[in-house]
Amino acid sequence: MRRRASLVLLAFAVFFTALSPLMRWYAFPRLAKIPPSQYQDMVLEAKNATLLDYATMKPKKVDKVSIVQTLKGNVKEAGKVKDSTGRDVVVWDTLSYVADPDGEMVSRIPERYIFDAHTQEPVHAKGEHVDGDPVRREGVEYKWPFLTEKRDYEYFDFQTRTSAPIHYKGTQNFRGLEVYYFEQTIPWTKVKVPKKLPMGATPEVVKQAGMERWYSTKRMFWVEPTTGAPVNGEEIHKEEMRWTGKPDKEPLTAFAGHVKIRPDYLDATYDLVSSQRQLVLLLTAYLPWGFLVLGGGLLTLSLLLEARSRRPSGPASDDDAAALDPDPDPQPAGV
């Protein structure tokens, strides 16, 4: 009976031990994915910023500039891309809407971002764009891969429509979470004028006025490495309208400010990332290590039962020997 139980325990030990690496290296890459229908919004603010007044064409100080970023998963388009590429993808239709203190539009830039649901690598397909202009992304945007590494990544900048390294600068603590800090600086670069501007201005109107748009930023992200999701982000953002062919003429500051996530959205982002982190850890740490420990425990118990089943019986007592002997030698008769 003990030997049979030992074999059953040994079978379960082998099963759970084998399941441990399968959960981490086979199941996790296939189960962990970004949902195609995800919706998220974020409000960022730049207080005491400088903004161009398009009515007077002069920069002015304002109390606050708001940047509303919305992200909406396009399930229908994701299905089309999957049919054409054979890959499990996510399509994000995003919008970056900049508003002045009165809520009036300063600029409006839509994007379509297509990427692999599991690895977050860009997937190039029809419809990928920034402000209606076709682009071909390389690297990450908005989100790092699951299990982010301590290294530099290529990060796509939607203003310049190009990718450049974003540098890993070290590990920090953010509200009790270990996060990786990344930093990227985009030098002054000539960029396209947004197609939606105040007072009906268009890129053609700006060009006819003899001006062009230049941009520079210092981008900072604090990324939770298990999920690859930023828990905080900031930008020291600068935009100028420069006079075409007149480098000596003073440019107009279109926007300048230190952009930060509004505190209530920072709290919501932290809560969301913390909950998602537990789900990823379940597949990458809790279950694999739990199965490994369980397999080791079952193996130990199996070996103990096997050892006990092979243990020899102890020597029999005199009474037991007498009971087992059917014909004991008779005592010799006296004379």
**328-334: long-range pairs with CB below 8 Å, 24+:** none
pLDDT at 184: 98
Phi-psi bin for 180: left (phi > 0), alpha (psi -120 to 50), beta?
beta
pLDDT in tens, 185-201: 999 999 999 999 888 88
Is residue 218 scored above 70 in pLDDT?
yes
The confidence score (pLDDT) of residue 318 equals 54
124 and 41 in a single domain? The answer is yes
- Return the pLDDT at 257: 97
Is the pTM higher than 0.85? The answer reads yes
pLDDT at 323 over 60: no
Task: For residues 135 and 251, state if they share a domain.
Answer: yes
Residues 36 and 24 in one domain: no
Question: Does residue 212 sit in the same domain as residue 117?
Answer: yes
pLDDT category, 334, cuts 50, 70, 90?
Answer: very low
Q: Does residue 101 register a pLDDT over 70?
A: yes
The mean per-residue pLDDT over the stretch 299-313 comes to: 79
> Is 277 found in the same domain as 177?
no
Give domain status of residue 328, yes or no. Answer: no
pLDDT tens digits, 37-66: 999 999 999 999 999 988 888 999 999 999
**Is the pLDDT score of 324 beyond 60?**
no
Same domain, 141 and 14: no
pLDDT bin (cut points 50, 70, 90) of residue 131 is very high
Kindly tell me if the per-residue pLDDT of 137 is higher than 60.
yes
Q: Is residue 287 part of a domain?
A: yes
What percentage of residues in the chain have a pLDDT greater than 70? 92
pLDDT in tens, 31-41: 999 999 999 99
* Band of residue 157 on the pLDDT scale cut at 50, 70, 90: very high
Same domain, 79 and 202: yes
Is residue 245 included in any domain, yes or no?
yes
Average pLDDT of the chain is 90
**50 CB-contact burial (10 Å; exposed 0-12 / middle 13-18 / buried 19+):** middle
User: Which band of pLDDT confidence, cut at 50, 70 and 90, is reported for residue 177?
Assistant: very high
Report if residue 333 sits inside a domain.
Answer: no
The pLDDT score that the predictor gives to residue 315 is 57
Task: State which residues form the domain around 104.
Answer: 32-261
How many Cβ atoms sit within 10 Å of the Cβ of residue 317? Answer: 9
Q: Give a yes or no: residue 70 inside a domain.
A: yes
Taking only the tens place, the pLDDT of each residue in 260-297 is 999 999 999 999 999 999 999 999 999 999 999 999 99
Better-scored residue on pLDDT, 330 or 175: 175
Residue 211 has pLDDT above 60, yes or no: yes
319 belongs to a structural domain: no
- For 168-203, b/e burial (b = at least 16 CB within 10 A) is beeeeebeebebbbbebebeeeebbbbbbbeeebee
One domain, residues 190 and 231: yes
Measure the CA–CA gap between 90 and 201, rounded to whole angstroms: 34
Are 42 and 27 members of one domain? no
CA–CA separation, 235 and 218 (whole Å): 5
**Rg over CA atoms, the chain:** 34
- Examine residue 220 and state whether it is found in any structural domain, yes or no: yes
Query: Per-residue confidence at 24, pLDDT binned at 50, 70, 90?
Result: confident
pLDDT at 8: 83
Do residues 185 and 206 both lie within one domain?
yes
Q: Count of domains in the chain?
A: 2
**Residue 335 confidence class, pLDDT cut points 50, 70, 90:** very low
Q: What percent of the chain clears pLDDT 90, i.e. is strictly above it?
A: 76
Same domain, 240 and 133: yes
Helix-, strand-, coil-residue percentages of the chain, each rounded to 5: 30, 40, 30
pLDDT at 144: 97
